[in-house]
Chains A and B, each alone.
Chain A
Amino acid sequence: MAKILVVTSGKGGVGKTTSTAALGAALAHGGEKVVVIDFDVGLRNLDLVMGAERRVVFDLINVVQGDAKLSQALIRDKRMENLSLLPASQTRDKDALTEEGVARVLADLREKFDWIICDSPAGIERGATLAMRHADVAVVVTNPEVSSVRDSDRIIGLLDSKTEKAEKGERVEKHLLLTRYDPVRAERGEMLKKEDVLEILSIPLLGIIPESEEVLRASNVGAPVTFNNPDSAPGRAYFDAVRRLKGENVEMIIPSDRKGLLGKLFGRRAA
């Protein structure tokens, strides 16, 4: 049974798109059939992070409005054939999304894939509510910072009231993904600690993604960080998160890029 997962946050710039790409790639790496959908109509970015920006012909809006077939709009990843992307339109706005259209597209995708990952736009308006509307699972991306935490809290409230599951009296499974975390700065009190965020949001923790330059590096080359450098700290953290998402019990550690003395001496193996 296909699962629809929404990656959401309320606040912008916390790492929704990065996390969508990284989780999608990590799930696909485990052999699952995965599609990632960009719901950020008008401000699409997922195609860039996935490195597919030069192959976009049709997009989500075309499919929603019936101008293109789903198979025409889906872009298969070059590195992994069981990973696909459904891009957003850059020229339209979120009003072009209709509830029935989105429901139809998701129902079609459910037949073809194991995981449907919806990359929500920031905010709580149409794009964001439609992205979460049909979700079975939600990953709430939060930075260890007060405004991000409060916005996430708002989004959790919407997940509990405005989704299809909530309206049927069921619950959307919710997970917290704490991104851009720096344990040293958290200890110094310069950012919220993991415990504080968990206390405020009180949803289970899916993973802690450490602040790392690897994330930006991967985005710039157009590859999910779990592809580009799976052994990097964020790469490992995302792989752990995916194992937890599939129900495995994985110890919560914050992977670190910092190297010991030997690591510094033998920093990189010659090609």
Chain B
Amino acid sequence: MTIAVRTRPSLRFRGKSFLALVLAPTVPLRDWLEDVDAVSKSSPGFFDGRAIIVDVSALKPSKSELKFLLAALKMREIRIIGLEGAAAAVVDADMPAPVNGGRPAGDIEMPDFDAVPIPAAPQSQPAPVTALMIEGSVRSGQSVIHTEGDVTILGSVASGAEVVAGGSIHIYGALRGRAIAGCTGNGKARIFCSKFEAELIAIDGLYKTADDLGSKFRGQPIQVNLDGESMILKSMD
């Protein structure tokens, strides 16, 4: 008797590094959840469709506490793809996979189902600084994401468009959409534009909406930078 042996094409496993938003809950959890609610309320859809990792290293939750936290986030329709800093004993099989920070991406020989390669610890491994130049305008609905460095836009950024940069953002036209600079944890990043009509600006996770900013700087050439925890807008005239 012969036994048919099915030959399979050999599988290749590859690692890829993605940028994920990391939420780090703090105690008391109730207050922290209220803060999350405040963010969702002021920017509806902020968490929609984003890859989010929860860093519970500050919380050191028990299994039931972790369950409560995940349920609370699920109720807010925040999708968690990974858990960072949770003890192996408290993680159930139906919870998001645990991740370890800062794993360099590359070809992975052995599949390691315990770890999802999603890290990006920018402080420990600064990405090589490269700038991205966009010759034209960024139209409504388009999203320019460049986490490796600065983004320069020769045209305008339309209402409903989004520019995300690891470094600074330079816009020679009008900024009418969103500009998110220093997204990999670079507090020194800045935003420049020759006409400021932004819907939202953010540097290193700190953001302000058009509503927060009022109309004082509207239409002016503006530079935005961070001073500690406050966002400084300066006219460049």
Contact = CB atoms under 8 A, between A and B. Distances in A.
B181 to A, nearest CB: 22
Contacts of A158: 141
Contacts of B139: 153-154, 156-157, 160
Contacts of B156: 200, 202
A265 to B, nearest CB: 47
Nearest to A146: B159
Q: Is the interface of B mostly helix, strand, loop or mixed?
A: loop
Most buried by B among A124, A157, A158: A157
B140 A157 contact: yes
Interface string A114-158: 000000000010000000000000000000000000110110111
B137 A202 contact: yes
A10 to B, nearest CB: 9
Contacts of B155: 202
Q: Is the interface of A mostly helix, strand, loop or mixed?
A: helix
Nearest to B197: A200
B224 interface: no
A107 B211 CA distance: 51
Contact of A154 (B137, B141, B176): B141
A160 B155 CA distance: 14
B176 A157 contact: no
A153 B142 CA distance: 10
Nearest to A153: B140
Chain A interface size range: 10 to 19
Interface string B124-159: 000000000000111111100000000000011011
Contact of B158 (A124, A153, A160, A161): A153
B185 interface: no
B160 interface: yes
Contact of B142 (A151, A157, A202): A157
B154 to A, nearest CB: 11
A151 B174 CA distance: 18
Contacts of B174: 199-200
Interface in A47-95: none
Interface in A156-176: 156-158, 160-161
A156 B142 CA distance: 11
A154 B158 CA distance: 9
Contact of A200 (B136, B138, B142, B176): B176
Interface string B100-141: 000000000000000000000000000000000000111111
Nearest to B176: A200
A154 B161 CA distance: 9
Interface of B: 136-142, 155-156, 158-161, 174, 176
Interface of A: 124, 150-151, 153-154, 156-158, 160-161, 199-200, 202
28 contacts: A124-B141, A150-B140, A150-B159, A150-B160, A151-B140, A153-B139, A153-B141, A153-B158, A153-B159, A153-B160, A153-B161, A154-B140, A154-B141, A154-B160, A156-B139, A157-B138, A157-B139, A157-B140, A157-B142, A157-B158, A157-B161, A160-B136, A160-B139, A161-B142, A199-B174, A200-B159, A200-B174, A202-B137
